Structure 1
Amino acid sequence: MDLETVMQELEALGKERMKKMYISNGAHEPLFGVATGAMKPFSKIIKKNQPLADELYATGNYDAMYFAGVIADPMAMTEEDFERWMDGAYFYMLSDYVVAVTLAETDIAQAVADKWIASGEELKMSAGWSCYCWLLGSRKDSEFSASKLSNMLDQVANTIHHSPERTKSAMNNFIYTVGISYLPLHEKAFETAKAVGPVEMKREKKKSSILLASENIQKELDRGRLGFKRKYVRC
């Protein structure tokens, strides 16, 4: 299936209501407004196709960029490919839910995420922290360094309140994910969440969001989900 055919199929799946919702979250034209669930049957036909994924991502169309992440072959992507995708990720739904998710299925995930966290750039930092969330929520605890993650928790505690807005959200999710999905540091993450307290995330043209990792960790503990791991990163 070629680029033109895929773009026509995506356009046919577009809905005005979804388009408005994506725009309210930061997307901009061009986009069709395709619900992610509507992409699934289509993605099963194409399966993994990295050349086509790169073509779709390069269109700058939000739906095409998202679909690129669905059909990408992460293990065929280099660090340079991820940097190029990151450069094109103009808002958090691309940086955190397309680029970071795809990166999380590779062997270079932690190395690239570490660079992004250290970059000082809002969406790169957000993608880096988000990538760790996807990793921690799907891989065995033994694949991580407890001392490294402990230092990262300290970093979040010391910097979250004066970090860029989207980075705050990803950092908050990091505390929560360590607290639920990484057993060796469950207690430290819970204590860190309590010490950090409410985090205000300002949003353009919307009310601020108040993020509270400790409350979310407690809810998951009450549901008996300590140690939760998902089978797949990408749905």
Structure 2
Amino acid sequence: MAELAALEDPRARAVNERNGDDHGVNLGKLRAIAKRLKTQQELSLELWATGDTAARLLALLICRPKAFTAPELDTMLRQAHIPKVNDWFVNYVVKKSVHAEELRQAWFTDPDPVVAAAGWALTSERVLKKPAGLDLPGLLDLIEAQMKDAPERLQWAMNNALAQIGIENPDLRARAIGIGERLEVLKDYPTPPNCTSPFAPIWITEIVRRKAGEP
């Protein structure tokens, strides 16, 4: 904790706080500490228990994802309110857990939009890697009915699922693009040059073009 405190940079904190992250530690330096520590499950639990954002990010880098039970992961998700912590927790820990599918189903319809967003993130992962058994038309029904008015984090997660369904499934592509065009979610999102817009119709079309090897 003393080492993390020594890395606190007011300028980094100012940048991070604009994204809702309450820490001032450079993530490259944080990763260097994690590389030195290697996997240490017990230490990761102690760091997580502090509630400090930088400590929790480090905990997620040195933990053993498969060591957590499903109830432990559920509790941790509900504690992970900070965006970067939430993002790393879902991507670095839950997606590597043997309980990922069980939790996807449990979180998918949770009344807490942040928890539901994690369920949708896991659903997008399945669309990409293990789509067998998913009701993709049913997912599009839910997105069409709920995404427009969903809270921001949940809306982003549903939009990502919409794009992935459209990209990976030619038979559903026109419908996915049509849903995006009708809902207009993220249509006007500011996108830097040389980056792909998160607006689903543009996103789907661009990635499909790249996969086809078109110029």
Quick check: TM above 0.5?
yes
Q: CA deviation at 1:47?
A: 1.8
Q: Partner residue of 1:199? A: 185
CA RMSD of aligned residues (A): 2.5
Secondary structure of residue in 2 paired with 1:145? coil
Map of 1:17-32 to 2, 5 A cutoff?
Answer: 17-28=11-22, 31=23
Q: CA deviation at 1:19?
A: 1.0
CA distance in 2, matches of 1:189, 1:98: 30
CA distance in 2, matches of 1:62, 1:222: 39
Q: Is the 8 A contact 2:39 2:63 kept in 1?
A: yes
Secondary structure of residue in 1 paired with 2:96? coil
Q: Partner residue of 1:163? A: 150
Q: Which residue identity lines up with residue 220 of structure 1 in the other structure?
A: I
Q: Is the 8 A contact 2:34 2:61 kept in 1?
A: yes
CA distance in 2, matches of 1:64, 1:167: 26
Q: Partner residue of 2:162? A: 175
Secondary structure of residue in 2 paired with 1:223? helix
Secondary structure of residue in 2 paired with 1:104? helix
Q: Is the 8 A contact 1:96 1:131 kept in 2?
A: no
Deviates most, 123-132 or 91-100: 91-100
Q: Which residue identity lines up with residue 65 of structure 1 in the other structure?
A: R
Q: Partner residue of 2:72? A: 81
| Unmatched 5+ stretches in structure 2 | 188-196
The count of residues paired between Structure 1 and Structure 2 equals: 202
Q: Partner residue of 1:230? A: none
Larger RCO, structure (CA 8 Å, separation 6 or more): 1
Q: Is the 8 A contact 1:190 1:217 kept in 2?
A: no
CA distance in 2, matches of 1:225, 1:49: 43
With over 3 angstroms needed to count, the CA separation of the structure-2 counterparts of 1:217 and 1:68, relative to structure 1, is same
Q: CA deviation at 1:157?
A: 1.8
Whose strand proportion is higher, 1 or 2? 1
User: Aligned residues: percent identity?
Assistant: 25
Q: Partner residue of 1:188? A: 172
With over 3 angstroms needed to count, the CA separation of the structure-2 counterparts of 1:162 and 1:49, relative to structure 1, is same
CA distance in 1, matches of 2:14, 2:212: 34
CA distance in 1, matches of 2:29, 2:95: 23
Q: Is the 8 A contact 1:95 1:126 kept in 2?
A: no
